[in-house]
Amino acid sequence: IYNKPLNRENLVCFWTRVSTKGFSQTGTKAIAIGHPESSGQNMKLVGIDVSFFILFAFAALWNAGEELLEEFSNIPDYDFSSFNKELKTLAHTDVGSCLVPVLARFKQTIKTSGYVAKDGKAHCISPLLYETGFIPFEVSTDDGLTFPYSGTWLSVHHSKVSDGEKCTLVNETKWQYYGTPNTDGNLTLTWTHQALAATHINIEVWGYQETGDSYSENWLAEWKYLYTLAREIPNTGKFSFIPVPAKGNYSTWDFGILRITPSSYSDGQRQPLANPYPPPWGLANIPSVWSSEHALAWHLGNDFRNDPNAWATAKCIEWDRKEEKLPNFMEEIIDCPCTLAQARADTGRFHTDYGCDIEKGSVCTYHPGAVHCVRAIQASPQYAAGQQCCYDSTGTQILTHDSTGGSTPDRGHDWGSPPFLKPPRIPGFSHWLYDVISFYYCCLWSDNCHLYMKKRPSSDCRTYRPPRAASAFGDPHFLTFDGLNFTFKGQGEYTLVESDLTSLRVQARTQQAQFPNGTGAQVTGLSAVAMQENNSDVIEVRYSQGLNLEVLLNQKVISFSEQSWMDLKGLFLHSTADQKITVMFSSGAGVEIRGSGGFLTLTVLLPEKFMNHTQGLFGVMNGNTEDEYTFKNKTTMSVHASPQQLFEFGANWAVENGTSLFTYDTEFLVNNFFYGEKHNASFLPVFFPYEDPADPLVKEMVLLCDSDPFCRFDVLTTRSLQVGNSTRLSHQKHKLLVENLEPVISCGWLDHPTNGRKNGTNYLLGSTISFICNQGYELTGSKERICQATGTWSGDTPSCVLRTALVRPHLQYCFHCCVLQHKRDVDILERVQRRAMKMIRGLVHLSYEERLRELGTVQPAKEKAGRGVESYQCVQIPEGKVQRRQSQSLFSGAQGQDQRQWAQTETQEVPSEHQESLFYYIKQVILLGCIFGVVGLAVLARLTFLCRKER
């Protein structure tokens, strides 16, 4: 619905915004139409049903037919005059208070009614669609008997709807945490009140669910009306309320959306109450403004509010059990790039995650610690799963094993997956149901994130293989996939790369360059690039007359004024504000085109699977430069070929009309490229530009280009420092790209030991991970491990063991060592035992003073006996245990006999004050080192130390 009558400029804008393929009568030929850059500035689009996808409104200026036809009078075979006149007649038909109806049919099956108002505008609201991309539709003016008018409508991901076309949840975090500790009070909703032509509105709550058996034909998606939150409130653009738990079983819906409708419609209504046109006019949506999808914490029941953690824990466990029964999608998703530089360079397979974008401030709500995340562009082949990769400020990948901010793969790809329509391929909503609301259960509303991360672990990069890059820029200069570079200045249309693997074709058109004074230079540059893979849509990027990039989809110009991202057949298309166009094919091949200095700069990225499957000016991608100059007939030319020979090589790769992907929609293109030669053999370029030291331009060139040969070449051949500088920058970008795409060795994630921790989360070549045990534990294994060039970690797996648990194995080791070192001392010990017995018995009949003298005498035999006893203490074998017990028994028996005899016969000779000392000295000499005095863990640890020292 437009807010002002259409004039010529607005009508052109209408064709750009709504039908990029244009309206055409069935059976007529529609060709590309150029649109002014200013289109869209004087038109405003009201958001209706935009959260489901974008508003569809088609309109035409019925009373300006002459001006319209004059605008396109030079366009042949494009007949919409009958469409204009017929609807103009309808607009002036007297039908009383009723509006003149029209019927729109989407994809030949989905019908929705519309009308032509008296101001000459036709209106229709888009139906609910579970897919993205260009949707074909037809229009009928005869009650659906015929649909002679056709066009296309772009359906986009709901997150891409502008803020002005949807209602906004003020402080969305509060909405989604409402009822958890310290989160209460008013909630506020805002919207653009002019979006709805009503004085009073209703606010409804809708829930989303997917029913049926997983991964089966009866697995279906459904948006369901739940209840009306507010009824007949003034349409002021703002509504605040204090949430209360939803009644009945509505509180079991924890993921949904809000809808604002005029209060004249009934609750949950999808078609007007007074629709004068019953089927076949079909189902008509009503004017609506939708919120973004969100977790419905604010309407959950008292069981949630009373104990959010317990409620969420139960939900998390239930989700975990359901996941156990679903197929494992982890095995088929692509591995993550190892570094942030790789992730941003691999534009054919990965694209920025809009929720964590380093270019927009890195607001990474669900990935704390990350500065940038990317998502795999293509969903996995069987289960339509998605991959996500997040990186910290050092460019290192964050893994869920180390942080809750790590990368988490998705059972449902956020952007959906062709053919869409059914779970888990529904754009956005399947992802929310299987991967986002479960994150709330386990991580945000409870402390069970380990369960979520167990089911959504990060993929490391051990199997990631970066793509190969080839570029063309400037005069033009070609840098092949295998690193060879050459200059080819032919004029015509040529094959840059083609592959028999996926029928990929990338073609380039070169045109003669101009000197600054406008005369033609004897060199060329890229002016257009066209590409296709298998039966995908055909994309062409070219310079328009105003040196602005112009993008054509299947030979028709498209605009990025509304959306920078398009889901197309077999590819995704993305445009940036600085005029960089990226085409991402389903195979993972990527093509980047920039406008630079009047020439196009092109980069092609191919995954490893294209090895030995390419040919063209970018050569054979196989790591061997010797066959880079391969002709169509498979013959090769030396890598040291002259510029003239390279000119012949390039000419060999000229395309033919039968295989050309280009659009010829101007007289110049038709005459020079369609009917003209695909390679202009009469155009002879400059092969060796002369560098005159006296030329003032040469001095400036040296300062600008330094040693860059491409920059110097282009300055000399075009006499333009601007062209040379553009070439220099393109060359630098290519070298940086190749550097960023260098393979990186990863040794894989390392866990910390139980009862310990690790320092470091970088697992790439040369990185070091160190390990520390908690207090009371001792580290065994390697204290540090280094990632080696073999892709393996150095050292042994560390573990932390309780220190008391170390004593026994250490003693056993020590005893075993002592047995090996002092085996012969066992015999000595036996002799010591016998001599000790004799010595004890010999002391019995001596007087007290004689005993003291005898014990104080140091003899070599006694020293040897002491050493033998010490050695014997280290023996821990069955025989040793027996011998130790025998020795202790003998010594104890000797002591007992000695004490009894002293008590019976010579007690009077030994003063009572010396008896204790006497026995002490006897024990020190005879029982030296025995385990008799070992009490407690400290003595055992000391014994371990002594044994180690002895070894």
Tens of pLDDT, residue by residue over 312-334, are: 999 999 999 999 999 999 999 99
H helices present in 8-71, as ranges: 8-18, 65-71
Which residues are 629's β-sheet partners? 637
Q: Omega of the bond prior to 424 within 30 degrees of 0, cis?
A: yes
Residue 909 has pLDDT above 80, yes or no: no
**Alpha carbon distance 128, 678 (integer Å):** 47
Which of the pair, 847 or 714, is modelled with greater confidence?
Answer: 714
Residue 886 has pLDDT above 70, yes or no: no
Q: Which two tokens stand for residue 67?
A: 């001006």
**Plot region of 755 (φ>0 → left; ψ -120 to 50 → alpha; else → beta):** left
Q: What is the pLDDT of residues 561-592, one digit of tens each?
A: 888 899 999 999 999 988 899 999 999 999 99
Q: Which two tokens stand for residue 41?
A: 């500035």
User: Within the chain, which residue ranges are assigned CATH 2.10.70.10?
Assistant: 756-797
- Residue 656 pLDDT: 92
- Residue 926 pLDDT: 52
Residue 499 has pLDDT above 70, yes or no: yes
Of 450, 323, 297, 342, nearest in space to 385 by CA: 323
Q: Phi and psi (nearest 5°) for 101?
A: -85, 150
Reported as a pLDDT band with limits 50, 70 and 90, residue 151 is confident
Tell whether the torsion through CA atoms of 849, 851, 855 and 859 is positive or negative: positive
Q: Between vectors from CA 86 to CA 82 and to CA 91, what angle results, nearest 5°?
A: 145
- Residue 834 pLDDT: 65
- Residue 469 pLDDT: 98
Mean pLDDT of the chain: 79
**Alpha carbon distance 791, 781 (integer Å):** 20
Q: Which two tokens stand for residue 297?
A: 């914490």
- Residue 639 pLDDT: 94
Give, in order, the Cα–Cα distances in Å from 846 to each of 690, 811, 833, 914. Answer: 122, 41, 21, 15
Burial pattern 131-141, b for ≥16 Cβ within 10 A else e, equals bbbbbebbbbb
Count the alpha carbons within 13 Å of 284 in the hemisphere toward its beta carbon.
Answer: 23
Which residues are 202's β-sheet partners? 261
- Residue 141 pLDDT: 85
Give, in order, the Cα–Cα distances in Å from 121 to each of 12, 59, 417, 483. Answer: 15, 5, 35, 58
Q: What is the pLDDT of residues 221-252, one digit of tens each?
A: 999 999 999 999 999 999 999 999 999 889 88
**Alpha carbon distance 122, 615 (integer Å):** 51
**Alpha carbon distance 552, 545 (integer Å):** 15
Residue 115 has pLDDT above 60, yes or no: yes
Other beta carbons within 10 angstroms of residue 82's beta carbon come to: 11
- Residue 148: CB partners within 8 Å, gap ≥ 6? 25, 26, 83, 138, 140
Reported as a pLDDT band with limits 50, 70 and 90, residue 600 is very high
Grouping H, G, I as helix, E, B as strand and the rest as coil, residue 428 is: coil
Which of the pair, 811 or 804, is modelled with greater confidence?
Answer: 804
Q: Which of 44-58, 188-202, 231-245, 688-702 has the lowest mean pLDDT?
A: 44-58
- Residue 948 pLDDT: 53
Reported as a pLDDT band with limits 50, 70 and 90, residue 208 is very high
CB 550 within 8 A of CB 557: yes
Which residues are 376's β-sheet partners? 350
pTM, full prediction: 0.74
Count the alpha carbons within 13 Å of 590 in the hemisphere toward its beta carbon.
Answer: 25
- Residue 856 pLDDT: 56
Which residues are 574's β-sheet partners? 565, 582
Give, in order, the Cα–Cα distances in Å from 132 to each of 109, 136, 164, 415. Answer: 16, 12, 21, 9
Residue 853 has pLDDT above 90, yes or no: no
Which residues are 420's β-sheet partners? none
What's the mean pLDDT in 54-58?
32
CATH topology of domain 756-797: Complement Module; domain 1 (2.10.70)
Residue 884 has pLDDT above 60, yes or no: no
What's the mean pLDDT in 81-93?
34
**Alpha carbon distance 131, 216 (integer Å):** 18
